[in-house]
Chains A and B, each alone.
Chain A
Amino acid sequence: MYVAVKGGEAAIANAHRLLADRRRGDRNVPALTLAQITGQLALAVDRVMAEGSLYDPDLAAMAVRQSRGDMIEAIFLLRAYRTTLARFGNSRPIDTAKMRIERRVSATYKDIPGGQLLGPTFDYTHRLIDPAMAGDEPVDEPLCRAREDERRAPRVTDILNDEGLIERDILSDDEPGDLTRDPTAFPADRDVRLQALARGDEGFLLSLGYSTQRGYGRTHPFVGEIRIGLVDVEIDVPELGFAVSLGSVRVTECQMVSQFTGGGQEGAKFTRGYGLVFGQSERKAMAMSLVDRALRADEFDEQRLAPAQDEEFVLAHCDNVQATGFVEHLKLPHYVDFQAELDLLRTLNAAKAKNDEMREAAE
């Protein structure tokens, strides 16, 4: 027999009404606008787009507001929306070498063609809370400096590699796997791993990347390059017979150069890990590149001993929407499950008591 328990409806409706009130807060304070969120909490919006796996700053800002700033809740909202959209096609692979650069640094070469451009970075700030943040003081316009030429800044891993000491990219146009369409099979290919990491939880990947630095799957990494900026998105339009640009998106790319692989015919060379993330998010891109490199253990005949090298562990647990779904479902009613366990325990104890009684009687 199954008896449905009712009675939660009014409580749920009232709880959601209370949530709406708490979300809005003091009515004497103006409500947040989307422009304020996308403009002044831009990196929160970027994170929601990256892990929500949908590039749309306005929607991400709405999600941040709706979730009261709970990032994983906002990511969940964006993911849910994503599933309602029909897919019109696939973009041509973006070309990060043609990025309109907003920041670009290399920790391996001081004098790189295109130079070191710090951009809007938290680096070298003192990490002291600025009293100005409590008010609304005027902020200086940024300085401008004319460029000497219109030169592009090629990817560091493509230049200064005349000696062939860094692993090269192998260009291809193979159709990549898509974990949103096909179940992930293990071992997974690197394209699918990168897709999972690009939408993976920043905190989880950060900790895994950190673990590789501390010795759990040591890779001895250097930042070959981090670049942030705008790239054009192109798609082939069959009706037109050619590709058009849809606009541009901001991405962060990290080229991590890691310890070398040995000898063989090609000679020893540095290996690489790759990170590419929606928005301005270099912590995530760096963590992603560390984990990407760690997951390539088999390619370089490295023993898989550490969690960061275990692709099934990493890929199955890096998605925070899946993770929060399974962890948080525990708080939903489990009355019947728990009752069953209770009954079982009572039966076991009753049986034990009866046994003990019989043994005593026998003695």
Chain B
Amino acid sequence: MTAETANARRKRALDAMASMPASMLHELYNENTAGAPDAIAVRGPEIGAIMLRGRIGGGGAPFNLGEASVTRATVRLDSGELGHSIVLGRDAGKARMIAHLDALRQLPDWVARVEKSIVEPALEHAREEAKLQAEETEATRVDFFTMVRGED
């Protein structure tokens, strides 16, 4: 695997885990990480903020819209792999678990398990949630029709 695809896979996993509700992550993490190498805290979890930016007109120059609370964590495994995470909100447990899973993903023994038991369910959950929301919105679509009156 090239470095580029490895990064793309890692991003896919981090993005998916960040989108997951904390309760679901807790559950899957507890079910699937028994016997995993421990995570040693390197940094955090620490709560802070990021400045959220928009673009003028939607597609122009950036402007500062306002901040959002975030939590980030970095952990290390005994074997040296570093795991990182940064997620919206102030859930230290979520940030720590994602950082741990990010580190575990770098172990050949663990990558498939993390992908299958955590990343894939996270993606599936996100897809389902997006589909439900889109279909609820779709039901409010205006279907215009015109009524012809008179004979001309």
Contact = CB atoms under 8 A, between A and B. Distances in A.
B128 to A, nearest CB: 12
A275 to B, nearest CB: 10
B57 A246 contact: no
Interface string A105-143: 000001100011111000000000000000000000011
Interface of A: 49-50, 53-56, 58-59, 82, 85-97, 100-103, 110-111, 115-119, 142-147, 155, 157-158, 169-180, 190-192, 194-195, 198-199, 230, 232-233, 235, 237, 239-249, 251, 253, 255, 272, 274, 276, 278
B62 A191 contact: yes
A119 B74 CA distance: 40
A122 to B, nearest CB: 13
B139 A276 contact: no
A276 B54 contact: yes
Task: Enumerate the 8 nearest inter-chain pairs by beta-carbon distance, A residue then B residue, closest first.
Answer: A169-B59, A247-B88, A191-B63, A55-B68, A169-B60, A144-B135, A85-B49, A245-B15
B127 to A, nearest CB: 11
Contact of B55 (A55, A110, A169): A169
Given A56-B90, A100-B133, A145 B141 contact: yes
Contact of A147 (B14, B63, B138): B138
B31 interface: no
Contacts of B84: 237, 239-240
A102 B130 CA distance: 10
B148 interface: no
Interface string B131-152: 0111111111110100000000
A337 to B, nearest CB: 36
B139 A143 contact: yes
Given A118-B142, A245-B18, A54 B69 contact: yes
B89 interface: yes
B49 A176 contact: no
A171 B60 CA distance: 4
Interface in B11-68: 11, 14-15, 18-19, 46-68
B53 A170 contact: no
Contact of A169 (B52, B58, B74, B133): B58
Contacts of B55: 93-96, 169, 171
6 contacts: A50-B66, A54-B66, A97-B59, A169-B56, A176-B61, A176-B63
A278 B87 CA distance: 18
Interface residues of B, number: 54
Interface centre among A49, A116, A191, A246 (most CB of B within 10 A): A246
A88 B53 contact: no
Given A117-B141, A246-B86, A144 B49 contact: no
Contact of B51 (A90, A192, A237): A90
B72 interface: yes
Nearest to B66: A53
Contacts of B61: 170-174, 176, 190-191
B56 A199 contact: no
Contacts of B50: 87-91, 233, 235, 246
Contacts of A176: 53, 61-64
Contacts of B144: 110-111
Contact of A92 (B47, B53, B69, B70): B53
B82 interface: yes
A170 B59 CA distance: 7
Given A56-B89, A246-B87, A278-B66, A85 B54 contact: no
Interface centre among B11, B55, B139 (most CB of A within 10 A): B55
A175 B140 CA distance: 39
B79 to A, nearest CB: 18
